[in-house]
Amino acid sequence: MRRRLPPLACSFLLLSACQDDPAGDSASAASPLGGLSDEEFELALDLGPLGAPTPDPTNAQAANPTAAWFGRYLFFDARLSGTGTFSCATCHDPALGWGDGLPLSEAAGQTTRHAPSLWNVGHQRWLFWDGRCDSLWCQAIAPIEAAHEMAGSRLALAHAVADAPDLRAGYEALYGPLPDLSDPARFPAVGRPVPEDPDHPEALAWASMDPDDQDAVTAILVGVSKAIGAFEATLQTGTTPVDRYVAALAAGDASAMDAALSASAQRGLKRFVGDGNCHLCHAGPLLSNREFASAGLGERPWLPLDDTGRYDGIIALQASDFNAAGRWSDAPDGEAAGRIDRLSLTSEQLGLFKVPSLRNVAQSPPYMHGGHFDDLTAVVQHYVDMDEELVLGHLDDFMLPLDWDAQDVADVVAFLEAMTAEPIDAAVLEPPDRPLP
């Protein structure tokens, strides 16, 4: 938990803020503590800074820098796809805030949801818009084998890793010697489980295998995904203008507050934690409570009407071989595993999607799980109007239209833009030229 100032310290700060600003002519000096109420002040202090994520206990490689390096090598590598043409970076482009700039993604086919940004994704508890994974490595498995994404298969991936000296070196440095996959009768060239279509040629190839050989191949898929997960946890952003403002606010330094944020962004911050109620979901320094909610979205012609969001996400997570409680997890009895059983499936979850982090959000339009809005102004205007007819589910009581004018909307957009920072480590933006450091 972050430190919260006791009420006494607040009034002390109030005093010192007045006394320390002899000029008294800055925007903040006119109303000490940035013109925030006591409650807004407390909430504002919670907006930053964002620390490093806790390493994922279900991934034994999560904090291993060698794994993160190899994961970065793999993330940009098209050999992970069935066609040899698509990598993770096809849809998660560092130049586009780790999104793809499209409402729906396109690789081997088209997805039914928008590619989210991956900045600070190591802080998320649930992955995907519907939270059908509870770790980064569980998540990374899905696109590799999804027909409309990378159209790969775990057998093809295992062969690619075994046959390419660079991939083999990276993999074996982390996990030890690869099994011998050279017998095509035991290890067909392509194959994967296809539960929705057991007669699929790749499903038949997979079903023909000995269970121990299947496990040997799945272990390679999991190993690759855990290295990618270790890399993704390093996608951390540094100090934003808002973080600098928060530090100045905590110190009662009015001139540093004004140096950090424009007057418009300061007003936007007050709206965000004030009458906008944005902080109720976009909470704390991640600007996400890491849970699911409805943002009041109606239908779009390019989106399916039967996307239940979190509801089917819970079903898929509980059934997944790759969840935190499963046999591929490195902490099957840990805290994350315990969480899975505590999820109860009710109609309340229909139409809920994950609350995204808003750090660096300005870099990755369009917005929402279906690319509903082209820019941040349109998103904030949506929260002001709150007039779309929900496709599914219900809205929290406090999600009411806001009495804001165009300037208020622009202020909140200015605040969101001031949530932008450079990566802590700029090396994450490029693939390394070799598989190991």
- Under a CB-based contact definition with an 8 Å cutoff, are residues 288 and 121 in contact? no
Provide the minimum distance between the beta carbon of 107 and ligand HEC in the complex, in angstroms, as a whole number: 3
Residues 144-163 that bind ligand HEC (CB under 6 A): 144, 149-150
| Residue 411 within binding range of ligand HEC, rule CB under 6 A | no
CB of residue 332 vs ligand HEC: minimum separation in angstroms? 21
Residue 242 to residue 252: CA distance in whole angstroms: 15
Alpha-carbon distance 222 to 226, whole Å? 6
- Closest to ligand HEC by CB, 216 vs 402, is 402
Under 8 Å between Cβ of 71 and 227: yes
Q: Is 175 in the site for ligand HEC (CB under 6 A)?
A: no
Q: Interface mask (CB under 6 A) for ligand HEC, residues 287-316, using x and -? A: ------x-x-x-------------------
Taking the CB of residue 238, how many other CB atoms lie within 10 A of it? 13
Among the listed residues 69, 73, 86, 187, the single contact to ligand HEC using CB under 6 A: 86
- Compute CA distances 328 → 82, 141, 235, 367, 431, whole Å: 23, 12, 24, 33, 27
Q: Alpha-carbon Rg of the chain, whole angstroms? A: 24
Shortest CB 348 distance to ligand HEC, Å: 13
- For ligand HEC, the binding residue among 138, 216, 278, 391 (CB under 6 A) is 278
17, 36, 62, 107: which one binds ligand HEC (CB under 6 A): 107
Does position 32 interact with ligand HEC (CB under 6 A)? The reply is no
252 or 435: CB nearest ligand HEC: 435
Distance CA 176, CA 199 (A): 35
State yes or no: residue 143 binds ligand HEC (CB under 6 A). Answer: yes
**Type of residue at 215:** D
Burial class, 46, CB count within 10 angstroms (exposed 0-12 / middle 13-18 / buried 19+): middle
For ligand HEC, the closer of residues 249 and 281 by Cβ is: 281
Binding residue for ligand HEC (CB under 6 A) from 72, 270, 282, 359? 282
165 Cβ neighbours under 8 A, 6+ residues apart? none
Q: How far is the CB of 106 from ligand HEC (least distance, A)?
A: 6
Counting contacts by CB under 6 A, is residue 187 touching ligand HEC? no
Regarding 369 and contact with ligand HEC (CB under 6 A), the answer is: yes
CA atoms within 13 A on the CB side of 253: 12
Spatial distance between the Cα atoms of 198 and 194, rounded to a whole number of angstroms: 6
User: Which residue from 147, 316, 399, 429 is in contact with ligand HEC, where contact means CB under 6 A?
Assistant: 399
Question: For ligand HEC, which is the closer residue by CB, 167 or 379?
Answer: 379
Is 419 an interacting residue with respect to ligand HEC (CB under 6 A)? no
AA identity, residue 308: T
53 contributes a contact to ligand HEC by CB under 6 A: no
Looking at the Cβ atoms of 70 and 129, the one nearer to ligand HEC is: 129
Q: Give yes or no for residue 116 binding ligand HEC (CB under 6 A).
A: yes
Nearest to 142 by CA among 240, 254, 231, 229: 229
C-beta closer to ligand HEC: residue 254 or 428 = 428
Does residue 28 bind ligand HEC (CB under 6 A)? no
Q: Does 43 bind ligand HEC (CB under 6 A)?
A: no
**9-17, 39-47, 121-129, 172-180 -> range binding ligand HEC (CB under 6 A):** 121-129
Query: CB-based contacts of 176: which residues, under 8 Å, 6+ apart?
Result: none
88 binds ligand HEC (CB under 6 A): yes
Please report whether residue 264 would count as binding ligand HEC according to CB under 6 A. no
Would you put residue 424 in left (φ > 0), alpha (ψ -120 to 50) or beta?
alpha
Sole window of 9-17, 139-147, 189-197, 417-425 interacting with ligand HEC (rule: CB under 6 A): 139-147
Are 104 and 112 contacting, i.e. CB atoms less than 8 angstroms apart?
yes
Give me the long-range contacts of 34-38 (CB less than 8 A, separation at least 24): 34/245, 34/249, 34/257, 34/266, 34/269, 34/270, 35/266, 35/270, 36/249, 36/270, 36/273, 36/274, 37/274, 38/7, 38/10
Considering the complex, what minimum distance in angstroms separates the CB of residue 251 from ligand HEC?
26
Q: Single out the residue of 258, 298, 295, 255 nearest to residue 276, CA to CA.
A: 295
Residue from 170, 223, 276, 435 in contact with ligand HEC (CB under 6 A)? 276
Contacts with ligand HEC by CB under 6 A lie at 75, 86, 88, 90-92, 105, 107, 111, 113-118, 121, 124, 127-130, 136, 139-140, 143-144, 149-150, 228, 232, 276-278, 280-282, 293, 295, 297, 353-356, 358, 361, 367-369, 376, 379-380, 383, 396, 399, 412, 416
